[in-house]
Structure 1
Amino acid sequence: MSEWFIYRGTGDPAPERIDSRPAPPPWRDFDARPIDYRVPEADSATRRRLGDRTVPLAVPGSEALRLINAALYLRRPLLITGEPGSGKSTLAHDLAFELGLGRVLQWPVVSRSELRDGLYSYDAIGRLQDAQLARLEGGAAGGPHSAGDIGRYLRLGPLGTALLAADRPRVLLIDELDKSDIDLPNDLLNVLEEGEFTLPELERVADRPGQQTVQVLTDDGLRAPVTGGRVRCRAFPVVVMTSNRERDFPAPLLRRCIHLDLAAPRDERLAAMVQAHFGAGSYDEYIGLVDRFVRTEADGGVRPTDQLLNAIYLVQHTAGSRPADQEAVADLLMRPLDNGPR
């Protein structure tokens, strides 16, 4: 294992390694004033994906580890491509777990996603309704239905929360970017390069008494201060963008990323995934199922690792059934996703 590696994929938490990085290159150095914000610990989403982390979830090949660590050193987004089920999203959670970076911020991209969805949302209708209620009730500016506190109607999205000026980086998962509208990858360029964005709703009121710094809700469900209507990062987040290779991305986006093409987990990595979810020794116990899963790749069909895990779970809980029934169920669960030849 190279000594310069910050992330090693060993399954051993080592939060001190992210703090021992050298200073960023001058073109990736962000110097926002730090804010007081407590990052939540890892949640159930990370536990579901990683299982028992006493088992290493090794990344295959030194090239993959070099690319991941290059992204950490250079403060650049990591663009991970690969077939469904190859562990692209899991890698984001593994990074957060090993480096002690808390809850993973997740932005699942769909065809209707826009940049603002990742940055923040503003409930203008709710604010208008509260203002009308306050007028009807003759309430004061600070009453229960007052619309004076604009921060109550703003919420930072996962990307916006990741750019808060915390001392340690957050892990942001932008999942399935290839599902997006054609404009979203280009719209991300400036934010990923500059590490900041503005909230026009707060900029307009920044010169009013008491409105220079406003507490807004974050994707974590907590409050964070935003000053002058601008969110600017201090430690650039660990951005993991995934793609199932359903489209190509523009060159300007690729220039800002470190690209990793992740192969499907096999051999030691597949063994680690099985043991992480089913316990030590489970890989050898279900080696027959594993071998069958791997052999079926010869037909060229797409089979994500989830199918193997589902088959093992079902066989594990139908131990009293006839072996023929178990094999039949396993075969049904491990059919190719693309309905190719069987």
Structure 2
Amino acid sequence: MIQQIFRGDGGSHEWELPEPPPWRRFAGEPLDTAPYDDDWAVSHPNEVERARAYRPGSREVEIVDLAILLRRPILITGRPGTGKSTLAYAIAHELGLGPVLRWPITSRTTLQDGLYRYDAIGRLQDANLPPEERPAAGIGQYIQLGPLGTALLPTRLPRVLLIDEIDKSDIDLPNDLLTILEEGEFPIPELQRVADRVASVPVGVDRSTRTAPVHGGTVRCSTFPIVLMTSNGERDFPPAFLRRCLQLDIPDPAPEQLAAIVEAHLGAEVLAAAQGLIDDFLKRRSTGEMATDQLLNAIFAVMSNGTADRDELAALVMRHLGTPG
């Protein structure tokens, strides 16, 4: 049995980061403060709710612990609505790792989109202002780290990075990620050009109003982030990419998991009153694709409309995915 860190029970607890394998040690010097706002949980209560009510199976818990130990990304497959993305929020909440850094992928996404953005036009416009109107800050104010770039900052504890729907990317992105995920660092050429004059430059970070220093023009992690990449199984990935990942397929929640999810979201009293809807959902799911949030929506709608036709209301919400309206 590997050391259990992630429990998946919706709570939060103290934990210790295990030592990494020798080949997954990184040289970044840890930052003095975490590069995210302290009130993120207050400003994003929906994320905390998603995390608190998520109930993973034992296989998911085991893979997460293994990924933390080995410092390897997880490639998660499964049907829509099985909780692939929500797992990231559950990990961040339970282990106190700050807001999830989410990088949604489309067919136009490039590696650069995840690393950083450089506002060259803004810098040029400011340079043309009269001297008395020019911003006092340096080049760092024109650089904003993306979700992947922020995840690779040298924090003492790992950040959680969600690369959502990576199977929608163009054919090159998975291979482009290999070097970054193996080396745990990347250069920012705009900062490297001034590194001999300015050793440390504060830059903007994803999902925060704070800045973080970049030394020598290179972002270099000290602890590899917890990286979850979701896929709907719409494409195959190259072997070189797959061998660097732990693979997890999340099945549809079993009846006992569904009951736990309903109770976590809506309470034990609602669970007891909603057993008929759960049975109906399971019957419908056996004949077509359905998502767990359809069940939650159906229960909430029925419980909030006591005078409505229960069966008709549930049928409106619990339709097979892909069924025309």
Matches of 1:144 and 1:214, distance apart in 2: 22
Aligned position for 1:97: 93
Matches of 1:176 and 1:53, distance apart in 2: 19
Letter in 1 for 2:117: S
Q: 1:174 to 1:44 in 2, by over 3 A?
A: farther
What's the % identity of the aligned pairs? 51
Q: 1:65 to 1:172 in 2, by over 3 A?
A: same
Q: In 2, are the aligned partners of 1:50 and 1:276 still within 8 Å (CA)?
A: no
Secondary structure, counterpart of 2:202 in structure 1:
strand
Letter in 2 for 1:282: V
Matches of 1:317 and 1:63, distance apart in 2: 35
The TM-score, its normalising length taken from structure 2, stands at: 0.92
Q: 1:45 to 1:175 in 2, by over 3 A?
A: farther
Give the total of aligned pairs: 322
Q: In 2, are the aligned partners of 1:106 and 1:174 still within 8 Å (CA)?
A: yes
User: Which runs of structure 2 are paired with 1:203-242 in the superposition (5 Å)?
Assistant: 203-208=192-197, 211-219=198-206, 220-242=208-230
Letter in 2 for 1:283: L
Q: In 2, are the aligned partners of 1:217 and 1:224 still within 8 Å (CA)?
A: yes
State the Cα deviation string for residues 121-157 of structure 1 (Å, max 9, x = none).
011111111112x2xx2x1xxx442487111110000
Q: In 2, are the aligned partners of 1:78 and 1:241 still within 8 Å (CA)?
A: yes
Secondary structure, counterpart of 1:261 in structure 2:
strand
Secondary structure, counterpart of 1:51 in structure 2:
helix
Q: In 2, are the aligned partners of 1:109 and 1:179 still within 8 Å (CA)?
A: yes
Q: 1:44 to 1:290 in 2, by over 3 A?
A: farther
Q: 1:130 to 1:206 in 2, by over 3 A?
A: same
Aligned position for 2:306: 319
Following superposition, the deviation at residue 251 of structure 1 comes to: 1.0
Matches of 1:239 and 1:47, distance apart in 2: 22
Q: 1:199 to 1:193 in 2, by over 3 A?
A: same
Following superposition, the deviation at residue 191 of structure 1 comes to: 0.6
Aligned position for 2:237: 249
1:83 to 2:79 alignment: yes
Aligned position for 2:68: 72
Q: 1:52 to 1:115 in 2, by over 3 A?
A: closer
Aligned position for 1:195: 184
Matches of 1:183 and 1:169, distance apart in 2: 26
Matches of 2:75 and 2:255, distance apart in 1: 24
**1:172 aligned to 153, 161, 186, which one?**
161
Letter in 1 for 2:86: T
State the Cα deviation string for residues 256-304 of structure 1 (Å, max 9, x = none).
11100001122222112212221233222111111111101222x2111
The TM-score, its normalising length taken from structure 1, stands at: 0.88
User: Which runs of structure 2 are paired with 1:92-131 in the superposition (5 Å)?
Assistant: 92-131=88-127
Matches of 1:22 and 1:277, distance apart in 2: 32
Q: 1:258 to 1:54 in 2, by over 3 A?
A: closer
Letter in 1 for 2:186: F
**1:328 aligned to 288, 312, 318, which one?**
312
Following superposition, the deviation at residue 53 of structure 1 comes to: 6.9
Q: 1:107 to 1:52 in 2, by over 3 A?
A: closer
Secondary structure, counterpart of 1:80 in structure 2:
strand
Matches of 1:273 and 1:86, distance apart in 2: 11
Aligned position for 1:43: 41
Q: Which runs of 5+ in 1 are unaligned?
A: none
Matches of 2:43 and 2:63, distance apart in 1: 25
**1:269 aligned to 257, 276, 280, which one?**
257
Following superposition, the deviation at residue 326 of structure 1 comes to: 2.8
Q: 1:125 to 1:147 in 2, by over 3 A?
A: farther
CA RMSD after TM alignment: 2.1
Q: In 2, are the aligned partners of 1:83 and 1:244 still within 8 Å (CA)?
A: yes
Letter in 1 for 2:176: D
Secondary structure, counterpart of 1:43 in structure 2:
helix
Following superposition, the deviation at residue 339 of structure 1 comes to: 2.5
Q: 1:93 to 1:45 in 2, by over 3 A?
A: farther
Letter in 2 for 1:25: P
Following superposition, the deviation at residue 248 of structure 1 comes to: 1.2
Letter in 1 for 2:90: D
Matches of 2:95 and 2:265, distance apart in 1: 21
1:297 to 2:285 alignment: yes
State the Cα deviation string for residues 24-58 of structure 1 (Å, max 9, x = none).
00110112111223243553697425538776x43
Matches of 2:238 and 2:136, distance apart in 1: 42
Aligned position for 1:162: 151
Q: 1:212 to 1:49 in 2, by over 3 A?
A: closer
